[in-house]
A and B are shown apart, each in its own frame.
Chain A
Amino acid sequence: MGTILKTEAATMQFGGLTAVDHVDMEIQAGEVHALLGPNGAGKTTLFNMISGIYTPTSGKVIFQGNDISKKRSFEVAALGIGRTFQNILLFDDLSACDNVMIGRHLKTKQPLVESIFCTPRIRREEKNARQRSLELLDYVNLGADAEKKAGSLPYGKKRLLEIARALALEPSMLLLDEPAAGMNPSESVELMEIIRKIRDDGVTVLIVEHNMRVAMGISDVVTVLNHGQKIAEGVPEVVQHDPAVIEAYLGKGGAAQ
């Protein structure tokens, strides 16, 4: 399948602070790739650099052969990278279905002038968008909540709704920022199944996750960051026993225990 996303010496500085420091990372198409590391390791910053919310201070982000380092968030989305947010950014006042329909933005062909005249194509596109959105809600087991306001959903469902909305872009790659945060064990299991399903449908998944059970359970490859630098990479079983990783998580001396 080959590489879908590559960072080359990606660096992000805020004032004097280097949040991400020369990170080289390669993600193979069709994999679930996890990004791990203690708090403040730079995982979310790296996500924001990939998805165009931040422009890297130096280095490159290459997606499907194109340099996307300087692209803005909506351009990155158009190229096929969907994402969710650590602190859940849904449109709370709109229904779950409307949220997903907003995700269909780029796939809905409704030029403004045509919209004003309400041509048959506009009606057809609207119907398609709604139907596809309902399918996606079913896909993440939220079919019954389609007409509920996003803001009224419980935490775990909000996370799933964000995934459905990101999938509405029909992305070739999906970035999930701590999707299991705030979920109970049974919800986490459901989430893991959904992520596997997404991968099996051909979407590459890059995931930031604190919950080690989830991260190790679903990922094919793991990259570990600490203080903005990459300290380990490989299959979960190996990385788990890497002394540098254990030290990063448990501190010096932790490795000895």
Chain B
Amino acid sequence: MKKVKTRTKIIIAIVLLLAIIIPVFTRENRYYMDVFIMLGIYVILGASMNLLIGYSGQISLGTAGFYGIGAYASVLLVMEANMPFLVGLIFAVVLCFLIGYVLGFPATKLNFIFLGLSTAGLNTIIQLIITNSEFTGGASGITGIPSVKLFGEPMTKLQYYYMTLIFVLIVLFICYRIVNSKTGRALMAIKGNPIAASAMGININRYKLLVFAIVSAMGGLAGVLYAFNIRYIQAEAFTTNMSFKILTMGIIGGMGDLGGGVLGSLVAGALPEFLRDLSKYQMTIYGLLIVLVLRFMPKGIVHPIQIGLDKLEQAITGALAKRKAAKAKKKEG
């Protein structure tokens, strides 16, 4: 197991602390709380997309489809069958895993173009089913989704936020563990050279499929968290545009870097909030962002930050060493 660098630990601690503390001050502001909850959901989507693309070399243009399946499956189970929220959540996650597994079965054998196409297709089909079926409320969607209860009381926005945060941490931990185990090594081998990987006994299709299904399940989880926060769902939220947004989140941070996945999700997720007056430019900007990052920063926006931190770290250790040396000299003197 690779040792986590002290620097990484410090960064994780700071980010986590901010994620816990800031919302306490904004808990009365519904708008801010919804933004924070959405950012959490985006991190789940973006980090899992980063796992899919960056580590297993696969593309999904249909994540919003799984996001939608997760939302509708859990909502319908809770509303129609009066099941508790958690049961709905688990059901939705398992369902998305299974659908991902079945769909990925032919597609993962082929290259990323086919997978990209068939996932885009899945998204379109799901979209059509949602809009044209009665049980999904058709184009008008489902309203009046019950709020999630904690100890019999409806959750406050702050509580819901913390619940989301816990799921975010679980997802990130799972991604981290997948990457830093034999499975992660197998994925790196497949990405590095599939023929050699296979000669080492690695069943390529099995691993690609496994990751694809896991990422699908994470998309479903994000959908559940979305639906029960907004408490109103309609087909509009699960279009291929959303899939593209998720793709942007997974990529711009830096492919094959979990931290990059988180950063990319936060940047791409928060962007529309800063550009609210420019909302009609949103998709143009996402498109441009992906093209420019791939063209000029193929290692992602996390890369220059890493270089900056490297320099900072060197400067600090250098300064410390100097001080130590000076002190030692003083003592001698």
Report yes or no: B192 in contact with A92, Cβ–Cβ below 8 A.
Answer: yes
Which residues 1-47 of B have a CB within 8 angstroms of A? 1
A78 touches B177 (CB 8 A): no
A203 to chain B, nearest CB (A): 16
A66: shortest Cβ distance to chain B, in Å?
A: 16
B185 A116 Cβ-Cβ under 8 A: no
A240 interface hit (Cβ, 8 Å)? no
> How far apart are the CA atoms of A118 and B4 in the complex, in Å?
15
Q: How far is the CA of A165 from the CA of B210 in the complex (A)?
A: 25
A77 to B: closest C-beta gap in Å = 4
Residue of B nearest to A129 (CB): B182
> In the bound complex, what is the Cα–Cα distance between A106 and B199 (angstroms)?
11
Task: Report the Cα distance A105→B183, complex, angstroms.
Answer: 9
Whether B195 contacts A91 by the Cβ 8 Å rule is no
Partner of A101, one of B185, B193, B204, B210: B185
Q: Which residues of A contact B202 (CB under 8 A)?
A: 74, 102, 105
Cβ–Cβ contact A73 & B1, under 8 A? no
- A54: shortest Cβ distance to chain B, in Å? 11
Is B183's CB under 8 angstroms from A110's CB? yes
Chain A residues lying within 8 Å of B198, measured Cβ to Cβ, are 52-53, 72-74, 77
| Contact between chains at B201 and A94 (CB < 8 Å) | no
Q: Mark A209-249, 1 if CB is under 8 A from B, else 0.
A: 00000000000000000000000000000000000000000
A112 and B195 form a contact (CB under 8 A): no
Known: A91-B189, A110-B181, A110-B182. A102 touches B174 (CB 8 A): no
Residue B203 CB within 8 A of the other chain: yes
The answer to the question of A115 belonging to the interface, with a C-beta cut-off of 8 Å to chain B, is yes
Contact call B195/A115, Cβ cutoff below 8 A: no
Name the residue of chain B whose CB is nearest to the CB of A73. B198
Contact A105 B192 (CB under 8 A): no
B305 at the binding interface (Cβ < 8 Å) = no
In the complex formed, the residue of B with least CB distance to A98 is B185
Contact of B199 among A73, A116, A125 (CB under 8 A): A73
Within the assembled complex, what's the spacing in Å between the Cα atoms of A201 and B177?
36
Distance in Å from the Cβ of A107 to the closest Cβ of chain B? 9
Q: How far is the CA of A83 from the CA of B196 in the complex (A)?
A: 9
Residues in B neighbouring A53, C-beta threshold 8 A:
195, 198-199
Does A126 make an interface contact (CB < 8 A)? yes
A62 interface hit (Cβ, 8 Å): no
Query: Which of B177, B188, B197, B200 sits near A115, CB closer than 8 Å?
Result: B177
How many angstroms between the C-alpha atoms of A4 and B1 in the bound complex?
A: 37
Q: Report Cα–Cα, A102/B184, bound state, in Å.
A: 10
Q: Would you call B186 an interface residue if the criterion is a C-beta within 8 Å of the partner chain's C-beta atoms?
A: yes
- Contact status of A165 and B200, CB under 8 A, knowing A89-B195, A91-B193, A93-B192: yes
Specify the chain A residue showing the minimal Cβ separation from B192.
Answer: A91
Query: What range describes how many residues of A lie at the interface?
Result: 35 or more
A123 contacts across to B, CB distance below 8 A: 1
Whether the pair B181, A122 counts as a contact (CB closer than 8 A) is: yes
Considering the chains assembled together, what is the distance between the CA atoms of A112 and B199 in angstroms? 21
Docked-complex contact A126 and B201, CB < 8 angstroms: no
- Residues of B in contact with A, size category: 20 to 34
Contact residues, B145-182 vs A (CB, 8 A): 173-174, 177-178, 181-182
| B201 & A77 in contact (Cβ 8 Å cutoff) | yes
In the bound complex, do residue B199 and residue A51 qualify as a contact, i.e. CB atoms below 8 Å apart? yes
B204 cross-chain contacts in A, Cβ below 8 A: 74
Question: What's the nearest-Cβ distance from chain B to residue A147, in Å?
Answer: 12
Check A181 for interface membership: any CB of B closer than 8 A.
no
Q: Which residues of B lie under 8 Å from residue A72 when comparing CB positions?
A: 198
Give chain A residues whose Cβ lies under 8 Å from the Cβ of B197: 102
| Contact indicator A116/B195 (Cβ below 8 Å) | no
B125 CB, min distance to chain A CBs, angstroms: 29
Cα separation A91 to B200 with both chains bound (whole Å): 12
Closest beta carbon of chain B to A23's beta carbon, Å: 21
A103 interface contact, C-beta 8 A: yes
- A151–B199 Cα distance when bound, in Å, is 19
Bound-complex Cα distance A78 to B197 (A): 12
Instruction: Determine how close the nearest CB of chain A comes to the CB of B183; give it in whole angstroms.
Output: 5
Contact A85 B177 (CB under 8 A): no
Residue of A nearest to B189 (CB): A102
Contact B210 A112 (CB under 8 A): yes
B182 touches A73 (CB 8 A): no
- Report if A194 contacts B (CB, 8 A): no
| A32-76 contacts to B (CB < 8 Å) | 51-53, 72-74
In the assembled complex, the Cα of A94 lies from the Cα of B184 at a distance in Å of 12
Max chain A Cβ within 10 angstroms of own Cβ: one of B173, B183, B197, B199: B199
Q: A94-B188, A98-B185, A112-B210 are in contact. Are A105 and B200 (CB under 8 A)?
A: yes
Of A89, A90, A91, A169, the residue contacting B201 (CB under 8 A) is A169
Binding site for B on A (CB under 8 A): 51-53, 72-74, 77-78, 82-83, 85, 89-94, 98, 101-103, 105-106, 108, 110, 112, 115-118, 122-123, 125-126, 129, 165-166, 168-169
Q: Which 6 pairs show the lowest CB-CB distances between chains A and B?
A: A77-B201, A91-B192, A115-B181, A89-B196, A73-B198, A106-B201
A-B contact pairs, 11 of them (CB 8 A): A83-B199, A85-B199, A89-B193, A91-B188, A91-B189, A92-B192, A94-B192, A108-B182, A115-B182, A125-B182, A168-B200
Q: Besides the contacts A53-B195, A89-B193, what 7 more A-B pairs have beta carbons closer than 8 Å? A: A74-B201, A74-B203, A91-B193, A101-B185, A102-B185, A102-B200, A105-B201
